[in-house]
Amino acid sequence: MHTARGVSILTIILIIFSSCQHKAWVLPASERHSDPTACFQRDVLPIFISNCAKSGCHDAQSREEGYVLDSYEHIMKKGIVPGNYAASKIYESMLGNTEERMPQDAPPLSSQQLNIIKDWIAAGAVNDSCGAACDSNNTSFAAGIQPLMNLYCTGCHSGSNPSGSLVLTDYASVKAAVQNRNLVHSIRYDAGYIGMPQTGLRLSACEVRQVEKWVDAGMQNN
């Protein structure tokens, strides 16, 4: 009798244990974003900085709902479950699967941005950086400069109420910001100017060079 009871208790314990094991969460190939070399510092952090770590939202001062989303250490504090994007509250909130879709009062992230974050979580949410992927000779506006703006700037500098009353969403607005709003000084963090992006993250030296070269070449709309 005792043995039978022992066995059934053991069985129950085994069932409980096995049901608690985390399943490895592997993204189907069709859901992976197009750039398999995406990494945290270059691809993921700028999305958080530009769209989430804003004043009144999730910068170090505002910390809405206790979330500060301006660095790897802070982002990992809560809401990201490495390997499991479905259990990651931060990602789910971006899809609108929680009460309020993030970023609030702003357009949703693009499906490409969402896939980058999803894929990064699925791959273990590690703090990696991918070395020199920047080409400072890529001075085409469409292929070089606007993508930099989209990555680092437009989360704050777009929409109906842009930061600093400045949008950086197209050729004309970026050119005007260089001419009238010290854009190059800002991204260089030159003394006496307002350093941009505002929080935690800077363009790499190569990316700054890329913008400088585009400006030196006469800010072509190419």
Cα(140)–Cα(208) distance, rounded to whole angstroms? Answer: 14
- Residue number, 113 or 198, with CB nearest to ligand HEC: 198
83, 108, 159, 164: which one binds ligand HEC (CB under 6 A): 164
Residue 47's alpha-carbon distances to 25, 126, 195, in angstroms, are: 23, 16, 18
Residues 1-60 that bind ligand HEC (CB under 6 A): 49-50, 53-54
Is residue 187 at the binding interface for ligand HEC, with CB under 6 A as the rule? yes
Which one, 95 or 176, has the nearer CB to ligand HEC? 176
Establish how many alpha carbons lie within 13 A of residue 118's alpha carbon, considering only the half-sphere containing its beta carbon: 23
Which residue from 44, 94, 156, 208 is in contact with ligand HEC, where contact means CB under 6 A?
Answer: 156
Sign of CA dihedral 176, 179, 184, 189: negative
96-115 footprint of ligand HEC as x/- string (CB under 6 A): --------------------
The total number of residues shown for the chain amounts to 222
Q: Does 181 bind ligand HEC (CB under 6 A)?
A: yes
Residue 166 in the binding site for ligand HEC (CB under 6 A): yes
Q: Exactly one of 38, 122, 134, 177 binds ligand HEC (CB under 6 A); which one?
A: 177
- Tally Cβ neighbours within 10 Å of residue 161: 8
- CA distances 171 to 30, 97, 220, Å, are 33, 35, 9
**Per rule CB under 6 A, is residue 197 in the interface with ligand HEC?**
yes
Distance separating alpha carbons of residues 21 and 40, to the nearest angstrom = 27
CB distance 51 to 106 below 8 Å: yes
- Asked if 199 interacts with ligand HEC (CB under 6 A), we say yes
Q: Which is nearer to ligand HEC, 115 or 186 (CB)?
A: 186
By CB under 6 A, residue 155 contacts ligand HEC: yes
Q: x/- contact string, 203-222, with ligand HEC (CB under 6 A)?
A: x-------------------
- Residue 128: how many CA atoms within 13 Å on its side-chain side? 11
Around Cβ 87, how many Cβ atoms within 10 Å? 15
Residues that bind ligand HEC (CB under 6 A): 49-50, 53-54, 152-153, 155-157, 163-164, 166, 168, 177, 181-183, 186-187, 193-194, 196-199, 203
